[in-house]
Chains A and B, each alone.
Chain A
Amino acid sequence: MTAPILAARGLGKRYGRVVALHDADFELMPGEILAVIGDNGAGKSTLIKCLTGAVIPDEGAIILDGARVHFRSPLDARAAGIETVYQHLALCPALPIVDNLFLGRERRRPGVLGRVFRALDRGAMEREARAHLNALGLLTIQNIRQSVETLSGGQRQGIAVVRATAFGSRVVIMDEPTAALGVKESRRVLELLLDVKRRGLPIVLISHNMPHVFEVADRIHIHRLGRRIAVIDPKRHTMSDAVAIMTGAMPPPA
């Protein structure tokens, strides 16, 4: 069996007297889409925040590619190659697509222009942006200089996904990527997820939408009462099984 690309062992986190995570494990295998589901308050968002550096666990270990990591902020996680697509997208609506893609990692012109005058290499950034959009089949966007707010919800989600996958990342975490979208747009985003997977990047998908989860996930991590209660194969279980395990109506499979 291959080693997980991202794993957590015995994570614990409490807020005062509330136990959000207790002895929680997590494993993401290379190249897979792992869905994380759980009822509200089950601790799944705390688990994800530990993996993305937004929350520092009280106990337990996070292991990336076999090495233990200690994230103190989302930037640490990002530097280590864990990119997150947030539910609220985290794009700047007034800025052009290309500026959003390169925000915080702009390219400068070579030579004196870049070193002394700090000039941005707009040409290179636009070429690269177009290549990344093409690679994920987001070709319908006419003009990468148009501002993000002129795009539809699905197109914006696409830009966020492209940004997460374009910059040498090792793991992509997507928090409810289809929650705010219509049927057609959700479809496009799910296809995008499968595209990203085909390119070899493993994805953690957090979603409440069971049909979406069952459509794209290779394995489903079910979180209940602060810990991982089961990992199921969507081909061998039904949606109602998953919901029953999640809510405690059915004992988890051995």
Chain B
Amino acid sequence: MSLPAEVPLPRAGEGTEPGETAESASTARSLPQLLHDNPTVVPFIVLLLAVGLFSAIVGARFFHPFNLSLVLQQVTIIAVVGTAQTLIILTAGIDLSVGAIMVLSSVVMGRLAVLDGVPVEFAFLAGMLVGGACGLLNGVLVALLRLPPFIVTLGTWSIFGALNLWYSRSETIRQQEVEAAAPFLQWLGTALRFWGARLTYGSLLMLALAALVWYVLQRTAFGRHVHATGNDPDAARLAGISVARVLIAVYAIAGVICSVAGWTLIGRIGAISAISGGTANLDSITAVVIGGTSLFGGRGSIVGTLIGALIVGVFRNGLALAGANALWQEFAIGVLIILAVAIDQWIRKVAA
């Protein structure tokens, strides 16, 4: 979000208490107030600090275009899944099944196109439909049966995971097989090369998708309804919003975005395996939370999630380049999550 433009309105002549106006005056804004109105400021500062820290430790290697593009490749899938997760967390929900949906749709695309000889465009479409259907199921259970999202998606995580193992027969489709039968599925792994950097189409798609979802959330009525539903469902209902429809749409859209993540996953690893992408669930939640989106719903942004994913990527990459044991990457991410939530609580308490 941009800094709100101050629009001073003329004051009413009578009945104006100076104390009351000063309360909301821009001049009297405190730091938490400012952060409250611009929730992506904190993650942005953290990202800058992380970049500064690792360039100091690791030196020029960190800033090499190849390494920067590597960080981007590493965060692409998390960012795509995180985009889906942001939509859901904005409605005060959570989706533990995003990783399972991603892998299931990649397996559906792969098996249909490579093993069953279905034309690749139909296989691709089937993968998207499967993702949308999985999300729709989550949405219906959350919105119509009014079950807690955590429980619903904990259940569907298992269900989609089991279906995935059954349908894939736990077989991996090798990279060469995909390349021979359905190169389109690997298309997002194609990279633009310049100055030593490898910028994949997958990363570009990720940025385009984030821009699209940002537009929908900020510039359309539907996006405002998503925020309202997460912030105060009763108020949203009284304003004439069909909260159930918003929720179902959000979960279904998130499902389709997970399918896009599945396509990106094939581009990234080349092969198609039922057991890939296992950390995508928690990584996506991590990116959203570090990006400043509140788990209580209604507050947050896609930009924050992108920055959150980048922070995770920079920490992992920087610690790896610095030669630290991989366990310290996990340690650092854990500290970041707790800090992010603590800052969110502090901002909301002090600014309220």
Contacts and interface: CB of A to CB of B under 8 A. Distances in A.
B22 to A, nearest CB: 10
Contacts of B17: 184
Contacts of A141: 9, 24
B145 interface: no
Given A99-B224, A120-B221, A142-B9, A91 B235 contact: yes
Interface stretch (B67-75, B237-245, B253-261, B275-283): B237-245
B240 A118 contact: no
Given A94-B298, A146-B24, A191-B15, A106 B224 contact: yes
Interface stretch (A28-36, A62-70, A132-140, A204-212): A132-140
Given A74-B238, A104-B241, A119-B220, A143 B232 contact: no
Interface stretch (A2-10, A147-155, A216-224, A235-243): A147-155
A122 B233 CA distance: 23
A118 B221 contact: yes
Interface string B214-248: 00000111101101100110111011110000000
Interface string B326-352: 000000000000000000000000011
Interface residues of B, number: 42
A94 B7 contact: no
B248 to A, nearest CB: 18
A187 interface: yes
A147 B232 CA distance: 14
Interface in A67-110: 74-75, 78, 86, 88-95, 99, 103-106, 108
A188 interface: yes
Contacts of B225: 103-104
Nearest to A79: B240
B12, B16, B33, B234, most chain A CB atoms within 10 A:
B12
Nearest to B241: A104
Given A92-B231, A145-B4, A140 B219 contact: no
A55 interface: no
Interface size class of A (residues with CB under 8 A): 35 or more
Contacts of A78: 240
A139 B37 contact: no
Contacts of B5: 143, 145
Nearest to B23: A152
Contacts of A92: 227-228, 231-232, 235-236, 298
Interface in B1-28: 4-12, 15-17, 20-21, 23-26
B6 A142 contact: yes
A140 B239 contact: no
A120 B219 contact: yes
A86 B237 CA distance: 13
Contacts of A120: 219-221, 224
A216 to B, nearest CB: 15
Nearest to A105: B240
Contacts of B240: 75, 78, 103-105
A144 interface: yes
A185 B52 CA distance: 50
A49 interface: no
A150 B10 CA distance: 19
Nearest to A113: B219
A41 B38 CA distance: 46
A130 interface: yes
20 contacts: A74-B238, A78-B240, A90-B234, A92-B232, A103-B225, A103-B228, A108-B221, A118-B222, A119-B220, A122-B219, A130-B9, A137-B12, A139-B12, A140-B11, A141-B9, A142-B21, A147-B37, A149-B351, A154-B20, A191-B15
Interface of A: 74-75, 78, 86, 88-95, 99, 103-106, 108, 117-120, 122, 130, 133-134, 137-147, 149-152, 154-155, 184, 187-188, 191
- Can you list the 4 inter-chain pairs with the closest CB atoms, starting with the nearest? A104-B240, A104-B239, A106-B221, A103-B239
